Amino acid sequence: MKNETLPNLTLPKIGYGAWRIGGNSSPDRSLDEKSLSALRSALEVGYTHFDTAEMYADGRSEELIGRAIREFGAKREDVFITSKVTPNHLQYDDVLKSCENSLRRLQMDYLDLYLVHWPHGGSKYDETFKALNKLVRDGKVKHLGVSNFNLKLLKLAQSLSETPIVTNQVPFSLADRSYVKNGVLEYCQQNDILFTAYSPVDEGNLRESATLEKIAKAHRATLFQIALAWIVSHPRVIAIPMSFDPVHIKENFDAAEIELDAEEIKQLEEVRE
Closest CA to 195 of 214, 176, 211: 176
For this structure, is 56 an active site residue?
Answer: yes
Distance of CA 15 to the CA centre of its chain: 7
In angstroms, rounded to a whole number, what is the distance separating the alpha carbons of residues 11 and 31? 29
Share of residues in the chain with pLDDT > 70 (%): 99
The catalytically annotated residue of 47, 56, 114, 198 is: 56
Rounded to whole angstroms, the Cα distance separating 85 from 191 reads 24
Element (H, E) at 206: none
Q: Check residue 86 and give its pLDDT.
A: 97
Q: How far apart are CA 170 and CA 179, in angstroms?
A: 7
Task: Tell me the average pLDDT across 118-142.
Answer: 94
- The dihedrals phi and psi of 22, each to the nearest 5 degrees, come to 85, 0
- Ordered by where they begin, the domains of the chain are 10-204+236-258 (3.20.20.100)
pLDDT digits (tens, 9 = 90+) for 66-95: 999 999 999 999 999 999 999 999 999 999
Q: Is 12 helix (H, G, I), strand (E, B) or coil?
A: strand
Amino acid 122: pLDDT? 75
Q: What is the mean pLDDT of the chain?
A: 96
pLDDT at 273 over 70: no
Angle, helices 92-106 vs 125-137, to 10°: value is 40
Positive or negative torsion for Cα 70, 71, 75, 81: negative
CA distances from 271 to 176, 260, 267 (A): 11, 15, 7
Distance CA 48, CA 75 (A): 11
The pLDDT assigned to 206 comes to 78
Residue 261 amino acid letter: D
Residues 6+ apart with CB under 8 A from 271: 174, 209, 211, 212
**Chain segment 188-228, per-residue pLDDT in tens:** 999 999 999 999 998 767 778 899 999 999 999 999 999 99
What one-letter code names the amino acid at 179? Y
pLDDT at 26: 96
Question: What is the pTM for the complete model shown?
Answer: 0.96
Q: What is the DSSP letter of 174?
A: S
* Cα–Cα distance list, 64 to 32, 34, 102, 162, 246 (Å): 7, 11, 12, 31, 17
| DSSP-derived secondary structure letter, 109 | S
The arithmetic mean of pLDDT across residues 119-133, rounded, is 92
Is the confidence at residue 157, as pLDDT, over 60?
Answer: yes
pLDDT digits (tens, 9 = 90+) for 232-259: 999 999 999 999 999 999 999 999 999 9
Assess contact for 65 and 52: CB atoms under 8 A: yes
Confidence (pLDDT) at 272? 66
pLDDT tens, residue by residue, 22-44: 999 999 999 999 999 999 999 99
